[in-house]
């Protein structure tokens, strides 16, 4: 007995070893077979990471597993992935692995595909990326005999897809279908001509047609039994139940593949007439649970698709959506919708695709006493859609959230009253041929109020009225407000229907008036939490408030003539603002904008754009007769261009050309701007005490009254770039002293100016009057001291430096030149007497002393004498202490 058991055990051991090692023996053969079959039949790049064979997993069947496989298209979709998956598992009989080239084709019993992505695409020329089968019709008969093909035959009993994603895109019809989280399995027998295939499918479906979304991740659940007639290629639906986004459907009929096309005869309908069926088809983004919803009346969907799909025709369609006197009420909402009547059809009576149309015979509902109705038709759906609609009724927007639980973010308020018709074709919309849009009637909106995160303050429209006429729409009245801002408007809208239907820019011309227009009402404030994770456990957290820049709407292509009594711009108030603004492509073009400002007028022209994210501008400002003190105190730009103007009282004209970036309040970012300015002071009084710079300068210049500087009719020009201002040189007067000014400063108040004082000889009296007494009146008229002064530091803490050495040298040269000219006229023999007079102060000197001195003491050079005298003169002039009265310090 032991011997028999050993033999049996040995046999089982050998079989087990064979089961383990046989995959290694046949793996290469099967992989070669796969590659040969693919190369013979597929025009694509097919690859996989690994191929494994197991005889144990599904014994007595063999299991072939492909891991991380992909199918990549060749031209015309070169590089596109048609399909890819994590794992493809094929089950087949063990004996299929032992077939050689003379055997029948290999049969596959079961197939499983995990985590697959399938991308189906049809381009605008009608090319399909799934047409990857090679055309073998041109092969010769000899080739066919000598090289027999060995395809797989799917005599399947079971197949399944787990967590698959299927994308379908038809670029010619702009059709996009996406099925995600697809789990599908089927059980049947494909080895016989007639059998029944039972399937179960769940998925999430999204569907778009011509950029309009009809389904968004809608739940799909399908249980279907299909009778297979493989010989006649006819597939008949037996017991079939589907649920699409909670809408139940039953269908039956058949689909049959024929040489000239696909014949079909399919009928479907809702199994019940409960109005909940209608609520179930509302897109998931707006839908809520139907638990507890009370409904009345009915809702039915039924249809028939019959005919043949060929290259030239489609099956005839007759789909009806009907509801009679229906109602619904959600359990936690105060109102219900009543008198819901729907009669809509999708039809095609000819089989030609262009003859498909949608007819909305009735669509009405009632909330409280407000009745709203619509009807119309949409024809020529696949080419140039023809639209003919009529709308009439009243709708209180606040009731929308009281009858249906929509998450609008913020409640709507307002009432819409409409009575209008419109007829147009989409070709007219696309080509902007608005005269072909035939609309008539009127619409009104009143007591509208909306607030949301995208708006800094609530928007209220007290009333707005539209009158529709063929080719044009009149905004007959508009009154609204937001914050402190009030707006009244009227005008013409060119393309309201295209704006609504195809997201075109809203075009029109409007007249706008306002008592107060505050730009700050349209700047959004965001709060950013800057606290660290450790901060969360304490009550002391840090938050930063950030202003978000005002954005010019990207959907506007309009011209606005405006007239505002007051415009608040940052901290600036403008009065009686008038002008024109053209808005297009997130850019505002200002033309002939004028306002009253600081006792004068302001003109503005140029443009502002918010398209680049950071607003940019290019402007010309023309300020006329404006108050210097008020304008330089309140306009930051002027304050930075000429900080010293704070010490002036008066008025001026100025023109400024500048460009750069704007901040969140549409104020210029000074570090970014460049341009130039020209100013003409009309009248001005100087108050040195208001400027630290003038105060420091006044302390150094004892002989000048800075408050007597004459600035009337002064004209000055400057340029600015990279945060620096450069002033073109100009000259001013303080009494009869000329002061030349040049240099510049930066926007952070660092100064670098040069002054050049031209001081007449009459101010050089006092201690050196005897020197000047020797000069004639004519010589003194031409004599002046040129004193350079350097200003540095900043406007709040300036530094004043006088270059006396340069002034002394200049004055010395002038005196020497005068003396030289006199000597030439009177003779060189008198030089000793002249110098004696200068050095002796005009006193008589004894002859003995003079003789002795002339022999023992060398005489100084003439230029040294004069230079010492000039130095003493200027030392006396600038070395004096400030007198109580400036007039007393001025020499005569």
Q: Classify strands 158-170 and 110-114 as parallel, antiparallel or unpaired.
A: parallel
Identify which has the larger pLDDT, 725 or 9.
725
Taking the C-alpha atoms of residue 235 and residue 226, their distance in angstroms, rounded to an integer, is 6
Copy the structure tokens of residue 849.
């002393």
The sign one gets for the Cα dihedral 544, 545, 546, 548 is: positive
Question: How far apart are alpha carbons 625 and 737 in whole angstroms?
Answer: 28
Q: In whole angstroms, give the CA distance from residue 447 to residue 16.
A: 85
> For the chain, what is the radius of gyration of the CA atoms?
48
Cα–Cα dist 445/390, whole Å = 18
Q: 112 has which bridge partners?
A: 89, 160
Q: Give the pLDDT confidence score for residue 654 in this predicted structure.
A: 86
- What is the C-alpha separation between 296 and 442, in angstroms, rounded? 33
pLDDT at 287: 60
Q: What is the pLDDT of residue 57?
A: 60
What is the model's pLDDT at position 267? Answer: 92
CA distance 121 to 135: 20
- Does residue 476 or residue 639 have the better pLDDT? 476
Using CA atoms, how far apart are residues 649 and 227, in angstroms rounded to an integer?
A: 100
**pLDDT tens digits, one per residue of 680-736:** 887 777 777 777 877 777 777 766 777 777 777 778 888 888 888 888 888 888 777
Give the pLDDT confidence of 247-285 residue by residue, as tens digits.
788 889 998 888 788 899 999 888 887 887 777 766 655
Residue 880 has pLDDT above 60, yes or no: no
Residue % of the chain over a pLDDT of 70: 72
Q: Count Cβ atoms below 10 Å from residue 833 Cβ, excluding itself.
A: 10
Residue 629 has a pLDDT of 77
Residue with tokens 């049996």: 8
Of residues 32 and 204, which shows the higher confidence score? Answer: 204
* pLDDT attached to residue 490: 92
Q: How many CA atoms lie within 13 A of 727 on its CB side?
A: 23
State how far Cα 441 lies from the chain centre.
36
Higher per-residue pLDDT: 670 or 776:
670
Q: Which residue has the higher pLDDT, 826 or 620?
A: 620
Determine the Cα–Cα distance for residues 206 and 245; give it in Å rounded to an integer. Answer: 11
Distance CA 765, CA 775 (A): 12
Segment 812-820 shows an average pLDDT of: 71
H-assigned helices in 391-495: 400-403, 426-430
Is pLDDT larger for residue 182 or for residue 524?
A: 182
> CA quadruple 863, 868, 871, 877: dihedral positive or negative?
negative
**Per-residue confidence (pLDDT) for residue 804, from 0 to 100:** 66
Give me the pLDDT at residue 867, please.
57
Phi, psi of 505 (to 5 degrees): -65, 140
- CA-nearest of 102, 113, 100 to 26 is 100
pLDDT range class, residue 585, cuts 50, 70, 90: confident
Report strand pairing: 386-396 vs 751-760. unpaired
Question: Tokens 């900080």 belong to which residue?
Answer: 643
pLDDT value at 743 more than 80: yes
What is the helix (H) or strand (E) element at residue 417, kind and residue range? strand 413-425
Question: Which of 178-187, 584-593, 684-693, 720-729 tops mean pLDDT?
Answer: 178-187
pLDDT number for residue 766: 47
Q: What are phi and psi of 399, to 5 degrees?
A: -75, -20
CB distance 422 to 402 below 8 Å: no
Of the given ranges (233-242, 643-652, 843-852), which has the lowest mean pLDDT?
843-852
Most confident of 8-17, 468-477, 485-494, 608-617: 485-494
Question: How do residues 431-443 score in pLDDT, each as one tens digit?
Answer: 777 777 788 899 9
**In whole angstroms, what is the distance from residue 268 CA to residue 287 CA?**
24
What pLDDT, on the 0 to 100 scale, is given for residue 478?
A: 92
Q: If you count them, how many residues does the chain have?
A: 892
Alpha-carbon separation of residue 34 from 37, 39, 40, 55, 129 (angstroms): 5, 9, 10, 18, 22
When comparing pLDDT for 544 and 194, which is higher?
194
Q: What is the signed CA dihedral for 252, 240, 120, 183, rounded to 10 degrees?
A: 180
580: number of CA atoms within 13 Å, CB side? Answer: 6
Beta strands in 455-586 (DSSP E): 459-469, 472-482, 485-493, 506-518, 524-529, 543-548, 556-569, 572-584
Q: What does the alpha-carbon distance between residue 635 and residue 674 come to, in Å, rounded to a whole number?
A: 17
Residues 376-397: what's their mean pLDDT? 87
Phi then psi dihedrals of residue 718, to 5 deg: -150, 160
pTM equals 0.60
Compute CA distances 676 → 537, 673, 680, whole Å: 55, 10, 14
Quick one: pLDDT band at residue 868, thresholds 50, 70, 90?
low
> Which pLDDT belongs to residue 507?
81
Q: Kindly report the CA angle at 22 between 16 and 24, in degrees rounded to 5?
A: 130
pLDDT recorded at residue 479:
93
CA nearest to 345, candidates 307, 384, 378: 378
Task: Give the residue-averaged pLDDT of 628-641.
Answer: 78
φ and ψ of 558, to 5 deg: -140, 160
Range in 6-20, 311-325, 518-532, 632-646 with the lowest mean pLDDT? 6-20
Check residues 506 and 832 and name the one with the higher pLDDT. Answer: 506
Task: Tell me how far apart the 2 most distant CA atoms of the chain are, in Å.
Answer: 170
In the chain, the percentage of residues whose pLDDT exceeds 90 is 12
Q: Report residue 94's pLDDT band, with 50, 70 and 90 as the boundaries.
A: low
- 261 closest CA partner among 280, 301, 233: 233
pLDDT tens per residue across span 60-83: 667 778 889 888 988 888 889 988
pLDDT at 202 (0 to 100)? 92
Mean pLDDT of the region 410-416: 84
The pLDDT of residue 463 is above 90: yes
Q: Please classify residue 378 by burial: count the beta carbons closer than 10 Å to its beta carbon, then call 0-12 exposed, 13-18 middle and 19+ buried.
A: middle
CA–CA separation, 767 and 891 (whole Å): 10
* DSSP secondary structure string for all residues of 630-647: HHHHH-HHHHHH-GGGGG
Q: What is the mean pLDDT of residues 748-763?
A: 80
Give the pLDDT band of residue 155 (cuts 50, 70, 90): low
Between the ranges 58-62, 535-539, 602-606, 802-806, where is the mean pLDDT highest? 602-606
pLDDT at 292 exceeding the cut of 90: no
Q: What is residue 844's predicted lDDT score, i.e. its pLDDT?
A: 45
Q: Rounded distance, CA 70 to CA 118, Å? A: 10
Q: What is the pLDDT of residue 689?
A: 72
Q: Are strands 543-548 and 234-244 parallel, antiparallel or unpaired?
A: unpaired
Query: Could you read off the pLDDT of 507-547 as tens digits, one per residue?
Result: 889 899 999 888 777 765 544 444 444 444 444 444 444 44
Distance CA 656, CA 642 (A): 13
Q: What is the per-residue pLDDT across 308-340, written as a single tens digit (0 to 9) for each?
A: 888 788 889 999 999 999 998 888 889 999 999
Q: How far apart are the first and last CA of the chain?
A: 152
Cα–Cα distance between 524 and 778 in angstroms, integer?
72
What are residue 232's phi and psi, to 5 degrees? -100, 5
Determine phi and psi for 344, rounding to 5 degrees.
-130, 145
Pull the structure tokens for residue 882.
């400030």
> Tell me, what's the pLDDT at 851?
41
Phi, psi values for residue 847, rounded to 5°: -65, -35
With contact defined as beta carbons under 8 Å apart, do 301 and 320 qualify? yes
- Residue 402, pLDDT > 70, answer yes
Alpha-carbon distance of 543 to 403, in angstroms, equals 39
> For residue 501, what pLDDT band results from cuts at 50, 70 and 90?
low
DSSP state of 274: B
Which of these, 751, 870, 868, 866, lies nearest to 799 by C-alpha position? 751
Q: Are 277 and 298 in contact (CB under 8 A)?
A: no
d(CA 61, CA 111): 13
Question: Which residue shows structure tokens 């707005």?
Answer: 464
Give CA separation, 577 vs 71, 471, 486, 499, 517, in Å: 67, 33, 14, 30, 10
Q: What is the mean pLDDT of residues 26-45?
A: 71
CA distance 804 to 798: 19
Residues 165-177: tens digit of each pLDDT: 999 888 877 788 8
Q: Identify the weakest region by mean pLDDT among 621-630, 702-711, 712-721, 772-781.
A: 772-781
Give the distance, in angstroms, between the CA of residue 865 and the centroid of all CA atoms in the same chain. Answer: 77
Per the listing, tokens 């005298």 go with: 869
If phi > 0 it is left, if psi is from -120 to 50 it is alpha, else beta; for residue 169 that is beta
The neighbouring-strand residues paired with 603 are: 594, 622
Q: What is the pLDDT of residue 462?
A: 93
More confident residue, 829 or 276: 276
Question: And the tokens for 577?
Answer: 């603002």
């Amino acid at each position: 007995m032991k011997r028999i058991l050993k033999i049996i055990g040995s046999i089982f051991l050998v079989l087990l070893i064979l089961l383990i090692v046989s995959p290694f023996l046949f793996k290469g053969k099967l992989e070669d077979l796969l590659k040969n079959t693919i190369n013979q039949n597929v025009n694509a790049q097919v690859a996989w990471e690994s191929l494994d064979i197991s005889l144990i997993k599904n014994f007595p069947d063999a299991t072939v597993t492909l891991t991380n496989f992909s199918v990549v298209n060749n031209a015309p979709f070169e590089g596109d992935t048609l399909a890819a998956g994590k794992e493809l598992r094929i089950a087949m009989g063990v004996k299929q692995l032992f077939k050689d080239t003379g055997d029948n084709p290999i049969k596959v019993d079961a197939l499983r595909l995990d985590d697959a992505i399938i991308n189906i695409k049809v381009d605008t020329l009608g090319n399909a990326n799934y047409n990857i089968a090679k055309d073998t019709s041109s092969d010769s008969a000899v080739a066919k005999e000598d090289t027999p093909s060995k395809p797989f035959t799917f005599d399947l009993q079971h197949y399944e897809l787990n967590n698959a994603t299927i994308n379908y895109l038809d670029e010619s019809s702009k059709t996009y279908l996406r099925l995600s989280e697809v789990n599908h399995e089927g059980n049947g027998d494909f080895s016989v001509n007639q059998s029944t295939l039972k399937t179960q499918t769940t998925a999430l479906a999204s569907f778009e047609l011509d950029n309009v979304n009809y389904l968004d991740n809608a739940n799909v659940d399908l249980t279907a039994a299909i009778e297979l007639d493989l010989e006649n290629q006819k597939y008949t639906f037996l017991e079939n139940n589907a649920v699409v986004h909670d809408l139940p459907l039953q269908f039956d009929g058949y689909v049959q593949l024929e040489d000239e096309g696909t014949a079909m005869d399919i009928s479907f309908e809702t199994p019940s007439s409960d109005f909940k069926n209608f609520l179930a088809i509302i897109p998931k983004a707006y839908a809520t649970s139907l638990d507890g919803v009370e409904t009345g009346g009915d809702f039915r969907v039924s249809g028939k698709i019959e005919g043949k799909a060929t290259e030239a025709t489609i099956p005839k369609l007759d789909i009806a959506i009907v509801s009679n006197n229906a109602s619904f009420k959600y359990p936690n909402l105060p109102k219900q919708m009543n008198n819901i009547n729907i009669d809509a059809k999708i039809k095609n009576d000819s089989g030609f695709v262009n003859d498909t149309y949608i007819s909305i015979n009735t669509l009405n509902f009632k909330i409280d006493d407000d009745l709203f109705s619509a009807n119309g038709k949409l024809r020529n759906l696949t080419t140039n859609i023809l639209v003919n609609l009529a709308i009439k009724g009243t709708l209180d927007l606040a009731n929308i959230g009281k009858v249906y639980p929509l998450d609008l973010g913020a409640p709507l308020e307002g009432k819409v009253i409409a009575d209008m018709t419109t007829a147009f074709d989409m070709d007219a919309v696309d080509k902007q041929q608005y005269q072909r849009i035939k609309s008539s009637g009127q619409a009104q909106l009143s007591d509208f109020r909306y607030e949301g995160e995208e708006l800094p303050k609530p928007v209220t429209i007290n009333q707005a009225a539209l009158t529709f006429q063929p080719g044009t729409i009149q905004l007959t009245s508009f009154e609204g407000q937001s914050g402190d801002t009030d707006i009244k408007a009227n005008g013409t809208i060119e393309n309201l229907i295209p704006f609504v239907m195809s997201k075109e820019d809203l075009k029109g011309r409007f007249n706008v008036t306002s008592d107060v227009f505050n730009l700050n009402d349209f700047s959004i404030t965001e709060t950013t939490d800057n606290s660290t994770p450790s901060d969360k456990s304490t009550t002391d957290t840090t938050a930063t408030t950030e202003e978000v820049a005002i954005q010019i709407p990207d959907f506007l292509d309009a011209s606005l003539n405006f007239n505002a009594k007051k415009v608040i711009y940052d901290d600036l108030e403008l009065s009686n603002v008038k002008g024109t603004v053209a808005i297009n492509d997130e850019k505002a073009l200002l033309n002939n904008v004028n306002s009253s400002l600081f006792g004068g007028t302001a003109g503005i022209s140029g443009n502002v754009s918010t398209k680049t994210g950071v607003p940019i501008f290019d402007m010309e400002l023309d300020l006329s007769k404006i108050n210097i003190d008020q304008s330089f105190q309140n306009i930051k730009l002027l304050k930075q261009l000429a900080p010293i103007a704070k010490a002036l009282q008066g008025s001026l004209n100025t023109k400024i050309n500048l460009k750069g970036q704007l901040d969140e309040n549409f104020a210029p970012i000074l570090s970014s701007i460049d341009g130039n300015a020209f100013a003409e002071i009309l009248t001005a009084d100087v108050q040195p005490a208001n400027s630290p710079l003038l105060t420091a300068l006044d302390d150094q210049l004892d002989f000048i009254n800075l408050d007597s500087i004459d600035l009337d009719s002064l004209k000055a020009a400057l340029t600015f770039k990279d945060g620096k201002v450069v002033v073109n040189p100009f000259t001013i007067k303080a009494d009869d002293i000329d002061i030349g000014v040049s240099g510049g400063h930066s926007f952070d108040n660092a100064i670098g100016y040069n002054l050049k004082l031209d001081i007449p000889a009459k101010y050089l009296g006092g201690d050196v009057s005897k020197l000047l007494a020797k000069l004639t009146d004519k010589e003194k008229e031409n004599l002046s001291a040129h004193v350079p002064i350097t200003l540095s530091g900043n406007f709040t803490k300036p530094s004043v430096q006088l270059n006396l050495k340069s002034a002394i040298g200049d004055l010395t040269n002038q005196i020497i030149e005068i003396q030289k000219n006199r000597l030439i006229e009177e003779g060189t023999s008198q030089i000793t007497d002249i110098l004696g007079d200068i050095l002796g102060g005009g006193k008589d000197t004894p002859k003995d002393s003079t003789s002795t001195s002339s022999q023992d003491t060398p005489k100084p050079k003439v230029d040294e004498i004069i230079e010492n005298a000039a130095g003493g003169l200027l030392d006396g002039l600038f070395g004096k202490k400030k007198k109580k009265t400036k007039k007393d310090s001025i020499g005569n």
